[in-house]
Structure formats: C-alpha cells, structure tokens
Amino acid sequence: MTDPDRTRADVGDVQPLEPRQLEAYFVLMEAVGLLQHAVEQHLRAEGDISYVQFQLLARLSDTPGPLTMTQLADGVVYSRSGLTYQAGLLEKAGLITRSPSPDDERVTLVTLTNSGRALFQNVLPGHIQLARSLMFDPLTDDDVDNLGDIMTRVRDQMRAKPPRSAGPRRRRSRPPGSAQT
C-alpha cells in the first residue's frame, strides 16, 4: 500500500523541488520550446534548414577558418553521430565542405562555402527579428542583463562537465556467448 502523502517527486533520497523551483523550471522549458518551435519554422520556411544546421552555419560563419568536427559538436552540444549526419546533409547541399586535416588525418575540418555563407546571411535577419519579438521585446534592459547573468551561471554549471564529444563512447553490448574480434 502506498502512502497518499508521498508523490513520485519525493520517492527515495531525492529532495523534491520547491514549488517555485518547479514553476521556474516548467516556465523556462515552455519558453525555450516555444522559441525553438518558432525559430525552426522560420528556418525551414526561409532556408530549408533545421535549427541545428543553422547553429552549425552560425558557428562556421563566426570563425575565420575551418573548425574541427569536435569543435562543432562541443559548440552546438550535439552528438558525434548526429553532427556527422547533419554535416553530411549540409555538405550535400553545398553549404559546407569537409576535408581531412593536413596535420592529423584523424581530424576532419569543416569549412563554410560561399553558398553556406549566403544562406546564413539570408536567414539571419528573420532569425534576429524573431528572437527580438519573442524574447527581448517583453524585457527591460535590466531584465536582459539579469537573464544573461543567470543563464551564464546555469550554462557554466552544466559545461563544468566534459563536453559530450570528449566523453568516453559507450560500448555496444554483445549478445552472451558472442566472440570478440
């Protein structure tokens, strides 16, 4: 028989979130979800690219030279395999090029093409307008400063752990009795 006063949130040794923490968490997640959905719709309509692809183009447009796949994965917080897939789509569309590093054949360098830069420049104004109207218009300058400070602390706390691309890869489990090669 279960105790009617216990909820899933306080099972075990986990301290439940306070109501104001829970409210802040859900408001943040809803706002991020709404913003990402609107941005994704804009990017699909104006550039036929996804939000992740936009992030990759943005990272590449912000650097004077090529980036490694690892730098891109860490910068956009995306898995190795997901990044490889997205980079393949962008390369097929002629928006980026990938090539081996002259210094280390294990490293793949990614460069933005002129077409990629043009597409990024084409979708950027609408992206900025969307961010401004949905996120910044309802805020005061002090709100923006406070939000920036708060989210920087949260991000830095999350980034204190090694980036996903630097973490160990999970080994695939083998069926019992199968031989290793």
Question: Domain containing 127 — which CATH number?
Answer: 1.10.10.10
Phi/psi for 99 (5° steps) reads: -150, 155
For residue 181, what pLDDT is reported?
45
pTM, rounded to two decimals: 0.76
Element (H, E) at 103: none
Residue 3 is assigned to a structural domain of this protein: no
For residue 77, what pLDDT is reported?
75
Residue 180 is assigned to a structural domain of this protein: no
Residue 5 is assigned to a structural domain of this protein: no
Residue 6 is assigned to a structural domain of this protein: no
- Domain hosting 77: range is 18-159
Residue 174 is assigned to a structural domain of this protein: no
* 68-86 core/surface letters (b: 16 or more CB in 10 A; e: else): bbebbbbbbebeeeebeeb
**What's the CA gap between 114 and 10, in Å, rounded?**
54
Residue 136 is assigned to a structural domain of this protein: yes
Residue 40 is assigned to a structural domain of this protein: yes
For residue 158, what pLDDT is reported?
86
Residue 164 is assigned to a structural domain of this protein: no
For residue 175, what pLDDT is reported?
53
What residues in the chain have per-residue pLDDT under 70?
A: 1-11, 162-181
**pLDDT digits 0-9 by tens, 61-112:** 999 889 999 888 888 877 788 889 999 999 999 999 999 999 998 899 999 9
For residue 6, what pLDDT is reported?
52
Burial class (CB within 10 angstroms; exposed 0-12, middle 13-18, buried 19+) of 91: middle
Number of domains in the chain: 1
